[in-house]
């Protein structure tokens, strides 16, 4: 799913959100915490053309209310932009490391 | 010392208690004077920082799921984006409390408007954050927890605050407003916490000790030595009566003619059952499932519900257990489920009306119930039924849930589907509701709707009398209607636990009541003295 591309400290990638209840409380905490570990400015979009929101702000990430099946788009600018996008795409692909915890959660 | 003060209100939950006085802070009365924009900005930042410390401390004591939800709240609170609109408003001259409340309300409304139940339920997290910060802004911060065994004195008490307190060391509640039919009074009766409501003119003076007599509706502040002695005598009388009740507690109940009466219990939370012996009752006549829906973690998933229902069924063994589908609305709001701002919530979207309006949430509850039915003698009960088609629609949803489970190979069973009879439209013509597998009379709501006296309005509480001949006549009509339809009928409201009203119920032909667990012995003793003639 990941299609990271990088040039001159700018990077972009997209990934399908498979988490059962969408980009919900716990996944959003994990996503924004991970984003904050990078120096690059990182934005998240629920469509290829945005609208773009700050991936380090849990208030804004939650307000996007992305349901299961949304394709999440990341774009980053800064020295570690490539690593940042790759790490965030990987986190979503791993289903936020909590697939098992949500079994049966209609 | 202000001296002894004695007040009489209305009895809301029986029992006698003495203890230190704890005043309940009234958040609606808190006011603070606004300062300059700089002072307001500092006040808000300080309140947010203190609230963050509160949450971090709560996280340390929480279990894994609770800690995850608190971590989410903490992340929101620490995000500059949450406070930015409030800080902008403060710069423009708004006071800190209004700025914060408006900023959070905008977010809360946005979440509530979501079609997705899981996102809609996050409104409660933001409400929590809003209240917590406002509490610190108003000074005094979070209210100190009462000492164990305290007598809580105040205007009113919310169910969530009741549930947050430790009642294991005794204690009691004395309110100047409130109602004996409120949700919190029901909780007090089921936990055995004495409670008196409608006490007028409680002085503001600092009292240290109080006695609450939940039988007579009496509150004594700073009691005199002779009153303490009288309390001791009353307590020994109560102990004698408890002895007599204990002697019949595990015996089957009969009226004087020897005719058998089923006495079942009402349960609000599975934790109550741990201290109860199933031998005291003929089953569980009412499980209120609202406890599952009031968690700060939001609406419950299917697995959480299934586990809770299964625990209750396993406690009861072969005895029948009637679980009521969620009765949110009225005086029981649930974030992400009920509708805010209805002009008259008791006449609005509540009970089965709300469940049919929110089929995604209802479906999870029906799936959890059908799965739990494998583990005991389960019946499902629909609250607030008004027309027969509501039973048909709920039955179709139950059928669909069972088909899904069977298709997925998940063990399940179809339990009988009955109804609460609490709307006069049903009680007047019960014979039209033959689609129900059983009737259970909800006398609290039936009384409030028949007498047009809201149970949460203290000023009309006297009118809302379950002993009104109209209420008794409706109950007799429902019992006769059930007999014609050949279905079971019981009563699960507070009337069933009232020795004054039991003779009228027996005369109306009723032979099954479901009551709060602490009332079982008293009801069995009272029934033995009733002839039951006139049925």
Residue B278 per-residue DSSP state: G
* Residue B486 in domain: yes
* Residue B534 in domain: no
Q: Which of A32, A57, A65 sits opposite B119 (nearest CB)?
A: A65
Q: What is the mean pLDDT of residues A38-65?
A: 91
- In the three-class reduction of DSSP (H, G, I as helix; E, B as strand; rest coil), residue B443 is classed as helix
Q: Is B320 in contact with B377 (CB distance < 8 Å)?
A: yes
CB contact under 8 A, A22 and B75: no
CB contact under 8 A, B302 and A60: no
Same domain assignment for residues B200 and B291 = no
CB contact under 8 A, A58 and B69: no
Same domain assignment for residues B33 and B126 = yes
Q: Is A31 in contact with A72 (CB distance < 8 Å)?
A: no
In angstroms, rounded to a whole number, what is the distance separating the alpha carbons of residues A60 and A80?
22
CB contacts, 8 Å: A70 with chain B = none
* Residue B535 in domain: no
Same domain assignment for residues B352 and B455 = yes
Task: Give the ipTM of the model, two decimals please.
Answer: 0.83
**Angle subtended by helix axes B80-91 and B37-61, to nearest 10:** 160
* Residue B266 in domain: yes
CB contacts, 8 Å: A54 with chain B = 81
Q: Which of B76, B80, B118 sits opposite A21 (nearest CB)?
A: B118
Identify the active-site residue in A19, A24, A73, A102.
A24
Higher pLDDT, A88 or B64: A88
Tokens of A53: 């929101």
Residue A19 contacts B, CB cutoff 8 Å: no
Under 8 Å CB pairs connecting chains A and B tally to: 56
Same domain assignment for residues B118 and B171 = no
**Dihedral sign, CA of B51, B53, B56, B61?**
negative
CB atoms within 10 A of CB B437: 18
DSSP element (H, E) containing B419 = strand B417-421
Same domain assignment for residues B228 and B331 = no
At which of B108, B137, B166 does a domain end?
B137
Same domain assignment for residues B266 and B369 = yes
CB contacts, 8 Å: A28 with chain B = 72, 75
Of chain A residues 35-74, which have a CB less than 8 A from chain B? 54, 57-60, 62-63, 65, 67
CB contact under 8 A, B107 and A22: no
Same domain assignment for residues B364 and B412 = yes
Tokens of A46: 């629920």
Same domain assignment for residues B274 and B178 = no
* Residue B507 in domain: yes
CB contacts, 8 Å: A25 with chain B = 68-69, 72, 122, 125
> Which letter, b or e, does each residue of B227-243 get, where b requires 16 or more Cβ atoms within 10 Å of its Cβ?
eeeebeeeeeeeeeeee
Same domain assignment for residues B198 and B296 = no
For chain B, which ranges sit under pLDDT 50? 1, 28-30, 141-142, 535
Q: How many domains does chain B have?
A: 3
Identify the active-site residue in B281, B375, B412, B492.
B492
Q: Could you tell me the CATH number of the domain that includes residue B92? A: 1.10.274.10
Q: Could you tell me the CATH number of the domain that includes residue B370? A: 3.20.20.60
Q: Is A7 in contact with A89 (CB distance < 8 Å)?
A: no
Q: Which of B72, B116, B302 sits opposite A104 (nearest CB)?
A: B302
At which of B106, B137, B168 does a domain end?
B137
Cis ω for the linkage preceding A51 (within 30 of 0): yes
How close A26 gets to chain B, by Cα (Å)? 7
CB contact under 8 A, B81 and A54: yes
Same domain assignment for residues B371 and B458 = yes
CB contact under 8 A, B118 and A104: no
Same domain assignment for residues B326 and B416 = yes
CB contact under 8 A, A104 and B81: no
Q: Is A54 in contact with A72 (CB distance < 8 Å)?
A: no
- pLDDT at position A105, please? 35
How close B19 gets to chain A, by Cα (Å)? 42
Residue A105 contacts B, CB cutoff 8 Å: yes
At which of B241, B259, B289 does a domain end?
B241
Res. A77 pLDDT band, cuts 50 70 90: very high
Domain ranges, residue B60: 29-137
- In the three-class reduction of DSSP (H, G, I as helix; E, B as strand; rest coil), residue B380 is classed as strand
Could you tell me which chain A residue has the CA closest to the CA of B109? A63
Identify the active-site residue in B136, B183, B375, B412.
B183
Q: Which of A25, A54, A104 sits opposite B122 (nearest CB)?
A: A25
CB contact under 8 A, B364 and A65: no
Higher pLDDT, A96 or B403: B403
- pLDDT at position B160, please? 60
Q: Could you tell me the CATH number of the domain that includes residue B19? A: 3.50.30.10
pLDDT tens across B112-134, in order? 787 777 777 777 778 778 888 88
Same domain assignment for residues B345 and B432 = yes
HEC string of B313-334 equals: HHHHCCCEEEEECCCCECCECC
CB contact under 8 A, A58 and B76: yes
Chain B positions contacting chain A at CB under 8 Å are 68-69, 71-72, 75-76, 79-82, 107, 110, 114, 116, 118-119, 122, 125, 301-303, 363-364, 367
**Dihedral sign, CA of B216, B220, B224, B229?**
positive
Domains of chain A: residue spans and CATH: 5-102 (3.30.1340.10)
CB contact under 8 A, B75 and A63: no
pTM: 0.59
Tokens of B413: 């069973």
- pLDDT at position B315, please? 95
A24 catalytically annotated: yes
């Amino acid at each position: 799913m990941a299609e990271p591309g990088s040039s001159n400290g700018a990077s972009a990638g997209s990934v399908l959100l498979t988490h059962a209840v969408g980009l919900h409380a716990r996944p959003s905490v994990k996503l924004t915490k991970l984003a904050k570990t990078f120096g690059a400015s990182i934005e998240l979009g629920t469509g290829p053309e945005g609208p773009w929101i700050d991936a380090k702000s849990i208030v804004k990430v939650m307000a996007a209310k992305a349901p299961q099946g949304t394709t999440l788009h990341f774009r980053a600018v800064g020295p570690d932009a490539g690593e940042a996008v790759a790490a965030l795409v990987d986190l979503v692909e791993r289903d936020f490391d909590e697939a098992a915890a949500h079994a049966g959660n209609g | 010392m202000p001296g002894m003060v004695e007040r009489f209100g209305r009895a809301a939950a029986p029992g006698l208690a003495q203890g230190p006085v704890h005043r309940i802070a009234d958040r609606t009365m808190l006011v603070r004077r606004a300062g300059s924009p700089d002072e307001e900005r500092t006040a808000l930042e300080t309140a947010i920082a203190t609230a963050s410390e509160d949450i971090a401390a709560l996280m340390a004591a929480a279990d894994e799921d609770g800690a995850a939800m608190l971590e989410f709240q903490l992340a929101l609170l620490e995000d500059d984006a949450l406070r930015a609109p409030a800080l902008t408003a403060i710069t423009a001259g708004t006071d800190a409390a209004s700025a914060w409340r408006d900023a959070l309300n905008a977010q809360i409304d946005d979440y509530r408007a979501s079609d997705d139940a899981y996102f809609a339920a996050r409104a409660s997290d933001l409400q929590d954050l809003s209240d917590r910060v406002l509490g610190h802004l108003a000074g005094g911060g979070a209210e100190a927890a009462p000492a164990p065994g305290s007598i809580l004195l105040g205007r009113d008490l919310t169910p969530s605050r009741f549930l947050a307190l430790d009642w294991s060391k005794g204690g009691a509640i004395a309110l100047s407003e409130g109602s004996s039919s409120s949700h919190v009074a029901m909780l007090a009766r089921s936990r055995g916490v004495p409670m008196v409501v409608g006490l007028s003119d409680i002085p503001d003076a600092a009292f240290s000790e109080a006695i609450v007599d939940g039988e007579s509706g009496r509150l004594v502040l700073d009691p005199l030595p002779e009153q303490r002695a009288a309390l001791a005598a009353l307590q020994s009388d109560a102990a004698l009566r408890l002895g007599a009740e204990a002697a019949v507690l595990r015996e089957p109940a009969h009226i004087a003619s020897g005719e058998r009466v089923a006495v079942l219990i009402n349960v609000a939370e599975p934790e109550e059952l741990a201290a109860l012996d199933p031998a005291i009752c003929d089953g569980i006549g009412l499980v209120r499932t609202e406890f599952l829906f009031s968690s700060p973690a939001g609406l419950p998933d299917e697995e959480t519900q299934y586990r809770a229902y299964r625990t209750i069924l396993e406690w009861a063994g072969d005895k029948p257990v009637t679980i009521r589908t969620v009765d949110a609305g009225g005086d029981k709001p649930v974030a992400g489920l009920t509708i805010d701002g209805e002009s008259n919530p008791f006449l609005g979207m509540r009970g089965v009306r709300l469940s049919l309006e929110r089929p995604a949430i209802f479906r999870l509850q029906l799936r959890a119930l059908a799965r739990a039915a494998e583990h005991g003698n389960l019946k499902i009960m629909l609250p607030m039924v008004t027309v027969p088609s509501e039973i048909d629609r709920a039955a179709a949803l139950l059928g669909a849930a069972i088909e899904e489970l069977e298709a997925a190979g998940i063990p399940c069973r179809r339990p009988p589907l009955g109804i609460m009879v609490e709307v006069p439209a049903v009680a007047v013509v019960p014979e039209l509701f033959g689609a129900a597998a059983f009737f259970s009379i909800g006398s609290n709501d039936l009384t409030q709707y028949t007498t047009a006296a809201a149970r949460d309005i203290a000023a009309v509480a006297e009118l809302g009398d379950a002993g009104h001949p109209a209420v008794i006549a409706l109950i007799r009509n429902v019992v006769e209607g059930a007999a014609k339809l050949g279905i079971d009928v019981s009563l699960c409201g507070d009337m069933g636990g009232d020795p004054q009203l039991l003779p009228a119920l027996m005369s109306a032909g009723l032979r099954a009541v479901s009551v709060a667990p602490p009332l079982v012995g008293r009801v069995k003793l009272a029934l033995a003295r009733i002839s039951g003639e006139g049925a």
